[in-house]
Structures are given as C-alpha cells and as structure tokens.
Structure 1
C-alpha cells in the first residue's frame, strides 16, 4: 500500500519531530515505532532531514521510503536537473500540480515551524505529493527507469542510510592532530603552487586555469576545466589536483568539531548523472588519503577496504569485446602493460593509466600522442599502441551513433542520459555518451556489490567510494569474502565474459 509521509522537523535535535500519514484520503499523526513496523511504501520529501531522528526514536527505519526529489532526479535523464537539485524544494516541485501558491507557501512555513500546524494544509499537500508520485512513476515506467529505481537504487539507498544513521566512529586524537597541522600544510602547498606558477596565493578558479593554460597550447574548445585537469597530462594539472584535494580535506576537517565522536553523513545515492554515490555533510570521500585515519573502527571491530582493480578498463573490455583490451585486462595489471608498451618500463604506471583513460574517454589523437611523447614515449610506439584497439574504437562509434539516433544513452539497466539538442554530436557529447555507458555501468555493478554485502549480517558498511567500500566487521571475519563478493558480482554482471578483479587495500596509511 502506498502512503504519504509528512513531518515537522525539530531543528533542536531533541526528537520533538512530528510525523503524519496520509492514507486513503485520511491524514493522521503517527510515531516512528509505528512507521518502522508498517510495510507500506511511503512517499516523502526531504527524507534526509528525518532519517536519523526516526532511527534514534525507533531503533529502525521504515521498510520502504521513496523521496520524491530523489526519484525525479534519478529517473529524468537530464544532467542539468541534477545540478539544479539543491535549488528545488517541495513547493517548487508541486507548483502547478494542485495546491495554490499561497497554500504551498503556508506549508513551507508550517514545515519550518514558523506557523502553527494546520492539518488541512498538510492534507492538501500530501494529496498533491501522491499525485506527483503517480506522474513520476508513469514517466519512469514509460522511459524504462522504474525497475532500476525499485530493484536497485531504493534498496541501496536504504542500506546506505541505515549505515549513515548508525554513524562512523572518529579517532579524536588523530582528528586533533590533523586539524592542528592542516592549516600549515595547506598554506605551504598554496604558497609553493603560487610561486611555481606565478599565480596569486589562492586556489585558482576555472577562469584562472583557462587563462594560464591556453597560452601554453591547451585547448578548452568544447571541454571543461575538470576534463583538462583530469585527462590532459600536465605537471600543472597534477599539482592543481593535489592542491584541491588538500583544500577539500582542510574544509572537511574544519567542519568536524573536536567533541564529535561519531559522524552521520547525508547520503546522496544519485550524486551524478552516472549514478555515483556521494556522502555529504561531511563529504568523507573527499578526504585526502593521509587524513583518512580519523575514521576508526568501533570497539572490538576492525575495518577492511575492498577495492575493484582496473575497474573501468575491465568494463570497457567487457562492453566492447575488444580482443586486445580483453587480453590486457585478463593478463594482469593492464596499466603496467601499458607502461611497458609505451615507455619500455613498468615504472611509469601512473602516467600510463592517465594516458589510457584520456584515450578511452575521447582525447584528440594528436594531443594524446603529444602527451605520451612528453612523458617520454616514442611517437611511433605510442601511435602503434593506441591504434591497436580497433574493436574498442568501433564500439565507441556505435555508442555515439546510438546516442545521436535515439536521443539518449544508458546502461543495460536504464540510467539514461538524454540529449538536449539535435544534429551531429559535439565532441563533448561523444565523451558524455561513452562516459554514461562506462561509468553508469560501473555505478550499476558497484551498487549490486553493495547489495551483496548487505546480505552478510556480519558486515557493517561505513563508507562507499567510487569503486571501493570501507566496511566494519569482527576480527575473526574472513575479509577474503569481501574480495570474493566484489569479484563475483562483476563477473556475473557480464555473464562471466570477464573475471572481475578486486583486492583488499589500505584505506589510510598505517598510523605512525
């Protein structure tokens, strides 16, 4: 049965929240314990605001909750809707559906406790929420997105939210240590970057980056700064990435008070158009590796970090069925093989990985070869190597042609990206098409892996990354089970055309 869940948030965090259910046209007040026992499918908005309060009050969460805005954004297929998500509240979502503007305005005021409760207003808004869900559901079924949301996105979201409300333990000693040192580390790095590149002592804006790199021959036509920094090899880009990572760590560490022994991040299960998971407030995934040791296990527990190996390359090999790429992936460390092919040495794996991913996501061929030569490769060897993936190239062309012909591109289980213009694809659209298939598939497999972990009651998920997960378990638990689960999920997804690879890794450097 579908019911609408409405609430008034207690912003004092003293659990004075009030909850209401609209079912069969009747609105009534309820309690978290009743919600936790109810097997109804609840329609809600801003669920992140009350998930922890519900858990603290009842010791459990409702079995099934659909956040309207999450559902809309994750099934609509438009990149800009994801970007505008933070600007859209429930009153904007419901505008034109039923309630008058003055009713919506009153609802927001009551919701924020600046006006007294009026059940008639809540009932009218709840009815509009139900109608809005029915419209979204019909659209998601029509576009082939409903099954993915109900069978994958929603169960994963529940698992992640349950993990977040349980909380993540923080090592107060290491937090204090890092907070003490981070300002000095950051400003020294900022000063060194400024001196090295003759720039102001601040993290450069996108405009600053374009102004600096364009005279050096970098082309920003139809690409954004993030793409150039990520995929176009340059010392400047590598230094800027390091500086930005340090700046993110500084911001995150400063936001965690010394008194906080556990943190409860907000889960964004559809944090990008490719369905990547993000934790927010704090955004733990942005912590530099050397600062990650602030996260610690609960008493009597240990942490393990399981990581997919050569994840995106394995996906590209399986999807394209390129025999050269499949062989490189199956024979061992692909990036080491690339390093040996380009540089006659296995020691340049990091540069080889960057070059290969630059190639895979559509860097101009001449620029790619020039970048390889700048790293020390022979031009003829670089050309021969990157021209050996003819089947993969044909697959990319087919993906782009499908995007152009059908106006959308996605994975084997939905998650479509829609075009917003007609005509030939721009270089940016070509890259987006390939990225949507590859990285969208990566998100799909990773979420399947998380669901596999959720079946093991001995495990507690702590932090999901892009292709890895930090989990907590007893010291007696065999952590090889994690590797087996991750590997099997990837192998099964591709019907064993490839063998998925995963390994245990260090989440943070060993404590000194």
Structure 2
C-alpha cells in the first residue's frame, strides 16, 4: 500500500508520495493499485477522471481532505473563521501557511508537501479517531465512491416539471414576505438572522432548522422555512437536469464525514434533502426495486438506552413522540411537532416553555444522564462515542449546550454506518446502496430476491441498533417508496 497526495492544476494531475516527499511528479497516467490511498481535496474530480479513463476501474482508496479534516480536527464551526471549506483555508487554519499565501505554479509542490505533513500530523492526533478512520470510515469511503461513479437514476421529465412548480411557489412566498410583512430581501441570510434576533429566538444547528422549530407558532418563520426548503429543492433539481451524466442519471458528490457528527452528506445535488413530495424524481435501474429503510424514533431510542431511564425505555416501545405530543401539545397527532421539541431539548434550547421542561424533568435518570454528559465534557474537554467522533469545545465556552446532542447524534451516525457496512459486506450482488439519510437508507434491490433480501436488511439494521443500545428493542420501517 502506497499513499499519495494528489492535486490537479489546469487538467494536469500531480502526485506526491508520502513516504518520499521528493517523489513529486506529473501523474497523467493515474495508475494506482486498489490498495493505494489517494489523499486529495478534489475527490470528486479524481473519481470522475479515473472512471472516464476506465469505466471498469477498481477504485483505490480515496480520502477526501474535507471529510478527513472534520473528523480528525474534532472542531465545530465555531472554531473556523470561514464558512466554506477550501484547501488554503484548511492550511491557514492549522497555521501551516500565513494569510498572504497564494497558490501558483511556483509553489504547488510546496502545497502538496504541506498537505502531506498536515495529514500525517492529524492521523496521529487521536488514537481512537485513527482506529475509527481505519475500521469504519475507509470502507464507508469505498462504498460511497463506488456509488458516486455509478450515479443515481432519475426521471428528467418529472424533475423539469417540478422545477417550474417550485419556482412559482418561491415567487409566491417572496411576495407575501415583501408585500405583507415588509421583509424586502427574504432570501438574504442577514435579513433572516435579523428577524430571528428581533424575536429573541436562539439560532441553533442552522437557520433552516431554527425556522423549522419555530414555524408552528410563528407564521413568518413558517414562510421563511418554506422559502428555504423550496430553494434547496430547486437547486438540487436544477443540478439533476443540467449537470453532466446524460438524460437518465445524476452524480452527487458524497462526503463520508460531512458533519461534525459524521453524517454522510450529498452535494450537487443534495438528494437527501429533497422533500418527500419531490423524491419521485429518483427511480430504480431496470430489474431493480427501491427499498427505503429507516429507524423508528432513532435519537429518542438512543437517549432512552444510554440514560437507562426505565420510563423513557417503556415509552420507546409505544411511541415517545406521541406521548410528548399528547402531554405538551394536547394532541398526539402532532407527533412531528413533538419531535422538534425533543430535538430542542436534546440541543439544550433554554427557550422551551415550562410545560415542555416539566415533561422532561419527570425522567429522573435522563436528567442525571444529561448532568453526567456536562461533567464529562468539562473534565475531558471533549465528547464523543465509544469509537471516536469526538467534538471539543472552545477554551472560552462557559456552557456547552450541544454536548448531549453531539453524544446522541454521533452515536446515531456510528450505528447507521455500521449497518451500512454490514449490508455492504453481506450482499455483494443484488443490493445497491443509493442515498444515505439521517436515520435511513435508500437501496435498490434485485426484483427477484426483493422480499427475502428486504427482511435480511431489516434484521441487520435492528442488530446494529441493538449492539449500541441493548436496553431497547429497536424497530425499523421499510417501504418500496422513497418517503
């Protein structure tokens, strides 16, 4: 196994051998063994290039530096001055180059050397993260990059029709916000933050998620949420119908460690963020049927098991979210609204009303567990799972409101990835991974063996949940429709 840092400049690929920094060369042949490790910040370009040269290529291990940085640095967005990940920002943040450095033909060998040094430093930064990287993330990379080469089949006619409908809906929402509420630039992020601040709403996770949590009791938040979701879908659908790949397929960029909690993220297009009403643009290949499988009450079940709270465990066996909806909202049919309350509690949102706070206080072991998590991050200066995926607070953080959320969501990501790997390792034929979701997966399965394989996949997902959370009896749902 050899390791190389790769970079492409003006259609020319260059490689640097990590075992010999003087072994730097133009590498237009791009001939590597399947066991080699190729480290790059241009993973999608490299995958496309390898595939275009040989459609039957057995991909080497490709390590995306953006995902690698998220895992090994153990830092949330609060540590970064920049919003979007760029390679020079990456080097500047880690104090490898200064703020005045500019990439050019005279110094790109030096950039590759800097990346090599930083890669070798970060891989040894934490032994648990290194073990997770080798035992989980490397194979996840192989899984997602194989899918990136194959792409996902789509119905272009449906996509084009939906683009027209969504564009009209965006125009309608903007008109309402502008003409009825005097919000003249509703698409402007600063305008959105200004509104939330004016109402005293805490921004957590993201603007979109904050609008989602407030949309039921604030009509303007509902409009903002619908505006952002429609814009998100429109962007994805436009990518589907306009990017390379022909009439029948789209080729998203897959990031194996896309968030600080290690969720797999799709970009360009972001198929996993499509609203249910627009997911019918995705269709199976000939001879295959779709299978969408997801966990029931995923985070709630994890929290119940890890806290060992008997009352919450008992509720998981019925429905925690329905009980929360009935107790706090007075209507168990408002289950989706109750899930938002649950996530706000988990994230440490102090603006929950008294009734919601009282609901969670009745779970005594849960409250003790929350306190133990706060103590753990205070003492250890990090929080994570039994298999890495740590997140560290800033030195000046007085209170870490996100510690419980990170513990639960990072555990969820690990359970989910282990289930992906078990399916991948057990089904070499007849099952194809398509799209990862937060708590579920879209597969396509050979029609002939569909029912048999469907049941086996369900069992794998249940078993992986049970391994991490033995106090509950996990449940999964599967469907032939992606919804």
TM-score, L = length of structure 2:
0.85
Aligned length: 467
Task: Name the CA shift for 1:385/1:125 in 2 (closer, same or farther; >3 Å).
Answer: closer
Residue aligning to 2:68:
71
Residue aligning to 2:447:
475
Residue aligning to 1:484:
459
Deviation at 1:422, TM superposition (A): 4.0
Aligned mates of 1:215, 1:104 — CA distance in 2: 42
Task: Name the CA shift for 1:393/1:204 in 2 (closer, same or farther; >3 Å).
Answer: farther
Kindly indicate whether the alpha-carbon contact (under 8 Å) linking 2:67 and 2:258 is maintained by their aligned counterparts in 1: no
Residue aligning to 1:6:
6
Kindly indicate whether the alpha-carbon contact (under 8 Å) linking 1:169 and 1:298 is maintained by their aligned counterparts in 2: yes
Segments of 5+ residues of structure 1 without an aligned counterpart are: 12-16, 110-120, 370-378
Residue aligning to 1:89:
87
Aligned mates of 2:170, 2:153 — CA distance in 1: 25
Aligned mates of 2:16, 2:236 — CA distance in 1: 37
Residue aligning to 1:401:
375
1:338-487 mapped onto 2 (5 Å cutoff): 338-342=324-328, 345-364=331-350, 367-369=352-354, 385-422=359-396, 424-425=398-399, 429-430=400-401, 432-455=402-425, 456-457=427-428, 458-476=430-448, 477-478=450-451, 479-487=454-462
Residue aligning to 2:271:
284
> Larger Rg: 1 or 2?
1
Kindly indicate whether the alpha-carbon contact (under 8 Å) linking 1:168 and 1:462 is maintained by their aligned counterparts in 2: yes
Kindly indicate whether the alpha-carbon contact (under 8 Å) linking 1:21 and 1:30 is maintained by their aligned counterparts in 2: no
Task: Name the CA shift for 1:301/1:202 in 2 (closer, same or farther; >3 Å).
Answer: farther
Task: Name the CA shift for 1:246/1:201 in 2 (closer, same or farther; >3 Å).
Answer: farther
Kindly indicate whether the alpha-carbon contact (under 8 Å) linking 2:39 and 2:65 is maintained by their aligned counterparts in 1: yes
1:2-81 mapped onto 2 (5 Å cutoff): 2-8=2-8, 18=13, 20=15, 22=17, 24=20, 25-27=22-24, 34-35=31-32, 37-58=33-54, 59-80=56-77
**Deviation sequence 1:460-498 (CA, Å, 0-9, x none):** 11111111111111112222223222111111123x322
Task: Name the CA shift for 1:171/1:383 in 2 (closer, same or farther; >3 Å).
Answer: closer
Kindly indicate whether the alpha-carbon contact (under 8 Å) linking 2:462 and 2:474 is maintained by their aligned counterparts in 1: yes
Kindly indicate whether residue 260 of structure 2 is the aligned counterpart of residue 273 of structure 1: yes
Segments of 5+ residues of structure 2 without an aligned counterpart are: none
**Deviation sequence 1:253-297 (CA, Å, 0-9, x none):** 233336542111111222221112111111112222211111111
Deviation at 1:391, TM superposition (A): 0.9
Task: Name the CA shift for 1:160/1:471 in 2 (closer, same or farther; >3 Å).
Answer: same
Kindly indicate whether the alpha-carbon contact (under 8 Å) linking 1:321 and 1:392 is maintained by their aligned counterparts in 2: yes
TM-score, L = length of structure 1:
0.81
Kindly indicate whether the alpha-carbon contact (under 8 Å) linking 1:157 and 1:269 is maintained by their aligned counterparts in 2: yes
Residue aligning to 1:105:
104
Residue aligning to 1:374:
none
Deviation at 1:83, TM superposition (A): 7.3
1:149-168 mapped onto 2 (5 Å cutoff): 149-168=133-152
Aligned mates of 2:204, 2:417 — CA distance in 1: 31
Residue aligning to 1:247:
231
Aligned mates of 2:223, 2:477 — CA distance in 1: 28
**Deviation sequence 1:148-200 (CA, Å, 0-9, x none):** 112112211221111111111110221122123222222223334556x6243
Deviation at 1:201, TM superposition (A): 5.7
Kindly indicate whether the alpha-carbon contact (under 8 Å) linking 1:4 and 1:129 is maintained by their aligned counterparts in 2: no
